[in-house]
Amino acid sequence: MRQSTGTHGCWVRQRGRLYGADMVDFIDGTVDPEAQARGDQLFGQIFFTPDGYADPIPFYQSFLDEVPVHVSGFGGAILSRYDDSRTLLRDPRFGNGDAGPGSAFGSDTSEAGNYRREMFERRKEARPQSMLGLDPPDHTRQRSLVSRAFTPRTVEKLRPRIRELVEGCLDDLAEAETGDAMELLALPLPVSVISEMLGVPHSDWPTIRDQVTDVVASLEPSASLEELKKADAASTVLWHYFTDLVEVRRKDPEDDLLSALIAAADGEDKLTNDEILATAQLLFAAGAETTTNLIGNGLHQLLKHPDQLDKLFANHELVPSLVEEILRYDSPVQLDGRACLEPAEVAGLRFEEGDRVLTLLGAANHDPAKYERPDDFDIARYHGPNPAEPVMSFGSGIHYCLGANLAKVEGQEVFAGLLRRFSKIDDAGDRVYRNRLVLRGLEVCPITVS
Ligand code: HEM
């Protein structure tokens, strides 16, 4: 029996439908109207209220306590437990289907939603999907060819250069003494690292950074029509830019990732030219703002928990554990999603083809069934012989983040650099989170260093 309460909170009226048109069922066929309304209210509080932006953790706990398996009034389901999220993301009966990345949000019928779909269809004709939007066997083939070039060795080899890039940002911060750490450090660093890795000439970095910022805004399901149009144009600029650069590297390879992607071959199988371009663009889209948020969210939590900042200054060896704890405590990516590809029963729910499901990664990282004291920010949690469970922030299964190691190395170099260069870090104004749904990060982070 499929039923929905229609008891929508006011955020729903403001936003319209955000995800799947289909209704998921509990296996026993009963949706409790009160629980459904409560789950939708909590979802709205996390993602559309100033309280939720400032601190979603109490809402995560309410989700886990009251509606860990939630069938939304908008269709689709939301899973918040660690084990359920992991199981779902690893289940081959769920994937992208034909809706591409962000498929969990495919049924938005607003003007912006229509533009997004039109843009997606247009691109599908002209450009291949990146691996993020593919299902096996296409995903398997593309990921295996890209991973061949994107090895842990490639990432570790980059560490000294990442340190230099961090030092450059810290020079700017030191000179300013008081400034916005997002603008001076968290925003420029990740784009510079990916540019360096791909072999983009230094003089082009500022242009690339601007275009990437515009493209990433479109990954949010709540992106406005104007943001989508800007992203569309920026994506075309990047596509042409990398078309030219691939041409140059094909004739004259260098020791960079773009040349390695051109060379990556499995027997006779190689990445096509368009797949190389889609991959280059994906690395910026998936690796820039996410890592920016790792840095910003980390600074925010350290400033909010001065005892932990003091502990860090006293013991620099805690940096790797700190980075894990930031990822767990304040996940840069809050949501992941899948579409059902064939009938399946998971977490007490019955799914049919086309049903949508979201996993609330931020909440999974605070699941008391998995973590002791889940709501304590404890920078030593991952230090020592018995590390906690791996964080859910990088997803799970076949789409597990390809850049997880790179992001961690960047985070480690940033916080190690801050400790090396400064003996004091203080806040210097209000820190405000952006009103984003998928990516959670600060708008500004004013700090003083000495
Ligand atoms: C803290 C930083 C980061 C976080 C939290 C993060 C998170 C994620 C998550 C949750 C996924 C899985 C999406 C899904 O299940 O559909 C993903 C996929 C991916 N990420 Fe990251 N990411 C980060 C940094 C990076 C970086 C630095 C890069 C590379 C430059 C990168 C490249 C990718 C790629 C290529 C995929 C697609 C993998 C596939 O589809 O097989 N990410 N990331």
Per-residue pLDDT tens over the stretch 107-144: 567 888 888 888 878 877 777 889 999 999 999 999 99
**CA-to-CA separations, 375 to 55, 57, 362, in angstroms, rounded:** 11, 7, 12
Question: What is the structure's pLDDT at 334?
Answer: 94
Residue 101 scores a pLDDT above 50: no
Ligand 1 centroid–CA 381 distance in Å is: 23
| pTM across the whole model | 0.92
Quick count: other Cβ atoms within 10 Å of Cβ 246?
19
pLDDT tens per residue, range 189-206: 999 999 999 999 999 998
Question: What is the structure's pLDDT at 438?
Answer: 87
Give the C-alpha separation, 382 to 32, whole Å.
39
Q: Quick check: 359 and 322 in contact, CB under 8 A?
A: no
Beta bridge partners of 349: 26, 346
pLDDT tens per residue, range 258-317: 999 999 877 788 899 999 999 999 999 899 999 999 999 999 999 999 999 999 999 999
287 φ, ψ to 5°? -110, -5
DSSP-assigned letter for residue 182? I
Among protein residues, the one with the nearest Cα to ligand 1's atom 39 is 399
Cα angle for residues 180, 335, 105 (degrees, 5° grid)? 115
Residue of 401, 408, 415, 438 to mutate, ligand 1, most atoms within 8 A of C-beta = 401
Question: What is the structure's pLDDT at 17?
Answer: 37
Q: In this predicted model, which residue has the larger pLDDT, 6 or 294?
A: 294
Among protein residues, the one with the nearest Cα to ligand 1's atom 11 is 401
Ligand 1 centroid–CA 366 distance in Å is: 20
pLDDT tens per residue, range 338-371: 999 999 999 999 999 989 999 999 999 999 999 9
For residues 314-330, give the mean pLDDT.
Answer: 98
**CA-to-CA separations, 221 to 296, 406, 436, in angstroms, rounded:** 22, 26, 9
User: Ligand 1: which residues within 6 Å by Cβ?
Assistant: 89, 131-132, 143, 194, 282-283, 286-287, 290-291, 294, 332-333, 336, 393-395, 399, 401-403, 406-407
Q: 85-94, 117-126, 275-284, 425-434: which has the highest mean pLDDT?
A: 85-94
Among protein residues, the one with the nearest Cα to ligand 1's atom 37 is 132
pLDDT tens per residue, range 211-251: 998 888 887 777 889 999 999 999 999 999 999 999 999 99
Say what percent of the chain tops pLDDT 70: 93
**CA-to-CA separations, 148 to 53, 231, 271, 398, in angstroms, rounded:** 38, 29, 11, 15
Give the C-alpha separation, 56 to 206, whole Å.
33
Element (H, E) at 265: strand 265-266
> Per-domain residue ranges for the chain?
10-449
Fold annotation for 10-449: Cytochrome p450 (1.10.630)
Say what percent of the chain tops pLDDT 90: 72
Counting from 1 in the atom list of ligand 1, the atom nearest the Cα of 400 is: 12
Quick count: other Cβ atoms within 10 Å of Cβ 144?
13
Question: What is the structure's pLDDT at 107?
Answer: 57
Question: What is the structure's pLDDT at 108?
Answer: 65
For residues 41-51, give the mean pLDDT.
Answer: 92
Residue of 140, 361, 394, 412 to mutate, ligand 1, most atoms within 8 A of C-beta = 394
* Average pLDDT across the chain, whole number: 89
